[in-house]
Structure 1
Amino acid sequence: MKGPLFYSKILLFGEYGIIKDSKGLAIPYNFYNGALKIDDNPSEIAQKSNQSLKAFASYLNQLTLNEPELVQFDIDALNKDIEAGMYFDSSIPQGYGVGSSGALVAAIYDKYASEKITVLENLNREKLLTLKKIFGRMESFFHGTSSGLDPLNSYLSLPILINSKDHIEPTGIPSQKEEGMGAVFLIDSEIVGETAPMVNIFMDNLKNEGFRNMMKSQFTKYTDAAVENFLKGDFKTLYTNTKEISKIALSHFKPMIPEKFHNVWQQGIDSNDYYLKLCGSGGGGYILGFAPDYNKAKEALKDYKLELVYRF
């Protein structure tokens, strides 16, 4: 058995901000993917995945009992496949902010949800919000709380524009230019990040009035503008706004930035060769970069592992 592939995702803009109703933009990242599988001779990693699926199935059973009007799963079929050794065969790195649990949630929903909302139907706002709510409940098993956005992006495999918590829609993004100078890229921090502790730091910060005001007057303002710039292909203004987001992150989200990247983060702001921002919740995993000239950025960051995401 081998199920369909579900891809990783990158939240280009909106990290933490979408909790406070800033705009956000998430895109599929097809470099990594995962699928449900059953093998005759499962590896140690496959067996470990199978064990965690057992616990997840038990959680989903409880979810079905608690919220039957929201979602129903064929738990018997799921348990039967888990007993047969089913696991999630994934190349998506865990704790890297690219949606490893999101892809798994999407795969389980796709295969085992009863009366599921499919990608082929007319996805109006109500259906999208229902899917997001279901996925949020499902993914909470892994993170304590979840917006449901990662699984939604993986399930639809489309760029998603978040206008606010209650207003999301699939969107189009400008075509890539193979020979473009500008780029979005990832830096591998070589540290595994954990979502829950980072989100807890953010929620604690929100108790501070100064921090709340900064989120409202600065972070949301520049994030919303950057989303608009990207969608319109106005990359010159995009860099100006991304630089501001990068400065805010270094000033107000320092615990989420691995310490060894504090200097390199500042160097990007000072040199204008690149601007770094959090990829997901931070604390490790990938760091997202924007560069007006990717070759210059590569030279400045030659000591780090870079992955190209998008060229313009």
Structure 2
Amino acid sequence: MKGPLFYSKILLFGEYGIIKDSKGLAIPYNTYNGALKIASDLDEKAKKSNESLAKYALYLKDLQDSTPEFQLNIEKLQEDINAGMYFDSSIPQGYGVGSSGALVAAIYDKYALNKITVLENLNRDKLLQLKELFGKMESFFHGTSSGLDPLNSYLSLPILINSKTHIEPTGIPTQAVEGKGGVFLIDSEMVGETAPMVTIFMDNLKNEGFRTMMKSQFVKYTNLCIDNFLNGDLKNLLSNTKQLSKIALNHFKPMIPEKFHQIWQQGIDSNEYYLKLCGSGGGGYILGFAPDYEKAKELLKDYKLELVYRF
């Protein structure tokens, strides 16, 4: 058995903001993917995945008992796990690119009994229903989940979050093959854990000053960046991303690995690139936007960069 491929994703804008009802924009990132497979002889990595799936199946069984609208063929899932099923994935874990999201999408795709398929008319209600189900399924991995990562992986389309109750697939401007500008990832070479970072954020929200900053600055610039990106307004996209980069350095320092504080500031001062969190932070990837990708690459030559999108 070899299941279909499910891709990683990048939340370009909206990290933490979508908790406070900002817009969000997530795009599939086809460099990494995963698929369910069955083998009788498992290597160390596959064995670990198989054991983890066995625990996950128990969680899904409990979830099904408490959520009547959620119906999976649990017997078949457990049978396949016993036969040596594992998730064969190239998606780095703890990197903010949706490794658990791709797994959730693969499980739903194969075992959901009343499946909402990608081919049918996905109206707003169906998308919200999927997002909610995926959120519950993915909570096993993070303690809490918006359901956005699995949704993105399942649909393999860019998704625009307008608000908690209004999400839609969207088109993004075609990449400029000859473009100088670029969106890129920096490998922090550290694994980030979502749950502790979200806990820090939720604690910060108890502070009135932080809540005000989220509303008046973070959400405002996140929404502007998304509008700029979707409309191809690159000049304003870069200046608004610079504002987000400053806000992150001032208010989200615990989520930025310490060794990146200096190059984060260097980008703001030089205007050669602007860094922002990719997912919850704390490690994993850091997202960068540069008016001239080659120049940014030169300034960041000590780090591993991956180009995501040219403009």
Structure 2 length as normaliser, TM-score?
A: 1.00
Distance in structure 2 (CA, Å) of the matches to 1:303 and 1:64:
48
Distance in structure 2 (CA, Å) of the matches to 1:162 and 1:86:
34
1:173 counterpart residue number:
172
Is 2:211 the partner of 1:212?
yes
2:138 counterpart residue number:
139
Identical pairs, percent = 80
1:31 counterpart residue number:
31
2:268 counterpart residue number:
269
Aligned residues between the structures: 311
Residue identity matched to 1:244: Q
- Aligned residue for 2:212, secondary structure, equals helix
1:46 counterpart residue number:
46
Residue identity matched to 1:25: L
Contact 2:40–2:83 under 8 Å retained in 1: no
Is 2:308 the partner of 1:306?
no
2:61 counterpart residue number:
61
2:92 counterpart residue number:
93
Residue identity matched to 1:261: F
Is 2:161 the partner of 1:162?
yes
How far apart are 1:39 and its partner, in Å?
A: 1.8
1:241 counterpart residue number:
240
Distance in structure 2 (CA, Å) of the matches to 1:8 and 1:43:
23
- Aligned residue for 2:168, secondary structure, equals strand
How far apart are 1:42 and its partner, in Å?
A: 1.3
Residue identity matched to 1:35: A
Residue identity matched to 1:132: K
Q: Which runs of 5+ in 1 are unaligned?
A: none
Alignment of 1:120-139 (within 5 A): 120-139=119-138
Residue identity matched to 1:274: Y
Could you report, residue by residue, the CA deviation over 1:176-199 in whole angstroms, capped at 9, with x for unpaired residues?
011100100000000000000000
- Aligned residue for 2:150, secondary structure, equals helix
Distance in structure 2 (CA, Å) of the matches to 1:76 and 1:23:
39
Distance in structure 2 (CA, Å) of the matches to 1:44 and 1:299:
38
Alignment of 1:15-26 (within 5 A): 15-26=15-26
2:2 counterpart residue number:
2
RMSD across aligned positions (CA): 0.4
Distance in structure 1 (CA, Å) of the matches to 2:271 and 2:77:
51
Distance in structure 2 (CA, Å) of the matches to 1:246 and 1:92:
26
- Aligned residue for 1:88, secondary structure, equals strand
Could you report, residue by residue, the CA deviation over 1:147-180 in whole angstroms, capped at 9, with x for unpaired residues?
0000000000000000011100000000001110
- Aligned residue for 2:216, secondary structure, equals helix
Residue identity matched to 2:167: I
Distance in structure 2 (CA, Å) of the matches to 1:167 and 1:212:
23
Contact 2:183–2:307 under 8 Å retained in 1: yes
Alignment of 1:285-304 (within 5 A): 285-304=284-303
Residue identity matched to 1:158: L
How far apart are 1:40 and its partner, in Å?
A: 3.2
Distance in structure 2 (CA, Å) of the matches to 1:296 and 1:48:
42
Is 2:288 the partner of 1:280?
no
Contact 2:158–2:169 under 8 Å retained in 1: yes
Q: Which runs of 5+ in 2 are unaligned?
A: none
1:110 counterpart residue number:
109
Structure 1 length as normaliser, TM-score?
A: 0.99
Residue identity matched to 1:15: E
- Aligned residue for 1:186, secondary structure, equals strand
Contact 2:104–2:150 under 8 Å retained in 1: yes
How far apart are 1:41 and its partner, in Å?
A: 2.2
